[in-house]
């Protein structure tokens, strides 16, 4: 752990906002506060960094929502680590490389088991507080030093040939993790351009039973009628995406 409640772009915060250049000389300035930043410092002065966000209950990053440019908050923190150069001076390192981002549940639900099961292992309820997110598989040796095929604190699983299993995995190959970092910026830039273009139509998403209207605070004044107007249906991304 290197810092907690790390503010950027807020009044009296030690770090500036993350500024993303838009068209016509406009700028999207992102500001906020990161729950916790952990660093792994190397001998050459560089450091790998992960962001941890505490939640009262378990929360997951959803591949479909990520693909369509939603669930931005946690991912945006990775962009802050990547693009706000003042962070390196703040932490006293030469270079920071984002390595992962995780939700941490504060109210994990313990699993059931016999008394013998609990007494025989110190990780009986490790899954209840398992970190959930995305991380660069190259950073796994720094995150988990056990050298196992399956994670406990972190969600990963390898096949017998040391390849990542198709399911039950949060790590990404390094090139895919870099692509995720690039997508964060493109998603934010797209949203910023839409705001300046005056795009404000009510077009809530639907993903299975999940609809944006569930969380909207303006339903009493919104003219969207779910019985008449079509939802923006989010489709699952293809494996190549």
Return the structure tokens found at 103.
């939700």
Task: Over range 208-224, report the average pLDDT.
Answer: 87
Give residue 193's pLDDT: 95
Give residue 52's pLDDT: 94
Task: Over range 171-181, report the average pLDDT.
Answer: 93
Least confident of 60-64, 126-130, 136-140: 126-130
CB 108 within 8 A of CB 128: yes
Distance in angstroms (rounded) separating the CA atoms of residues 99 and 50: 5
Q: Pick the residue with more confidence: 174 or 225?
A: 174
Q: Give Rg (Cα) of the chain.
A: 20
Give residue 121's pLDDT: 55
Give residue 70's pLDDT: 85
User: What is the tens place of the pLDDT at every residue in 85-127?
Assistant: 999 999 999 999 999 999 988 876 666 666 665 555 555 456 6
pTM, to two decimals = 0.83
Using alpha carbons, select from 181, 101, 86, 93 the residue that is nearest to residue 135.
101
Classify residue 127 by its DSSP letter: G
Reported residue count of the chain is 241
Give residue 63's pLDDT: 84
| Nearby residues of 61 by Cβ (< 8 Å), 6 or more positions away | 71, 74, 75, 103, 132, 133, 134
Task: Over range 228-241, report the average pLDDT.
Answer: 84
CB 55 within 8 A of CB 131: no
Distance in angstroms (rounded) separating the CA atoms of residues 82 and 180: 12
Least confident of 5-9, 36-40, 68-72: 68-72
- The rounded mean pLDDT for the chain is 88
Counting residues of the chain whose pLDDT is more than 90, the rounded percentage is 56
Residue 138 — pLDDT band, cuts 50, 70, 90?
very high
Give residue 113's pLDDT: 61
CB 155 within 8 A of CB 169: yes
């Amino acid at each position: 752990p290197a810092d907690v409640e790390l503010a950027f772009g807020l009044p009296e915060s030690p770090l500036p906002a993350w500024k993303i250049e838009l068209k016509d000389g406009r700028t999207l300035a992102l500001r906020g506060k990161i729950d916790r930043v952990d660093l792994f410092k190397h001998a050459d002065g560089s450091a790998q960094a992960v962001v941890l966000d505490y939640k009262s209950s378990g929360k997951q990053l959803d591949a479909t929502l990520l693909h369509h440019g939603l669930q931005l908050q946690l991912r945006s923190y990775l962009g802050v680590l990547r693009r706000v150069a003042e962070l390196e001076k703040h932490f006293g390192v030469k270079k920071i490389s984002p390595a992962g981002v995780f939700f941490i549940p504060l109210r994990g639900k313990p699993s059931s088991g016999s008394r013998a099961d609990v007494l025989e292992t110190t990780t009986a309820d490790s899954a209840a507080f398992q970190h959930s997110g995305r991380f660069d598989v190259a950073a796994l040796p720094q995150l988990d030093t056990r050298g196992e095929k399956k994670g406990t604190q972190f969600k990963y699983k390898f096949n017998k040939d040391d390849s990542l299993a198709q399911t039950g995995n949060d790590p990404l190959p390094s090139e895919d993790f870099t692509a995720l970092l690039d997508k964060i910026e493109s998603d934010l830039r797209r949203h910023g351009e839409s705001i300046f273009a005056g795009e404000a139509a009510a077009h809530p998403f639907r993903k299975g039973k999940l609809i944006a209207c569930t969380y909207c605070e303006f339903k009493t004044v919104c003219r969207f009628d779910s019985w008449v107007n079509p939802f923006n249906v989010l489709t699952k991304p293809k494996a190549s995406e």
